[in-house]
Amino acid sequence: MADENDPAHAGEAALLAAVEAALTDDADADEAAAVAAAIGAHMRDQELAAAVAADGDDGPNWDDDKWEFASKVARKRRRSVRVPTDAPKDPWAAAGRTDRM
């Protein structure tokens, strides 16, 4: 059973209260099912976002893209480069500094 003081439980209670206020008294089963599906999808999205935030994974980062950037420089400039760790993370700014790599 969920703790009533849990912020997630408070959010669920507020969401359910808002849905109850929005539904009319004559809502049929299809409307109720649609609302339940929307609530479920919303809550699942929140759970996934919280899991990603807790994992600390912000998606692709410059460390992953450095190899691709070095390959692109090798193709365009016809020379290999080692992209330093402190290179600008913005590809446009980094492209302007390829002569220093």
15-61 pLDDT, tens per residue?
Answer: 777 777 777 778 888 887 787 788 778 888 888 888 877 776 555 56
69, 85: one domain: yes
Q: Is 83 exposed, middle or buried (0-12, 13-18, 19+ CB in 10 A)?
A: buried
| Calpha distance 74→69 (Å, rounded) | 9
Whose tokens are 């410059």? That residue is: 62
- Print the domain residue range for 45: 7-55
pLDDT score at 50: 85
**C-alpha dist (Å) from residue 63 to 85, 87, 88, 89:** 8, 10, 11, 9
48, 68: one domain: no
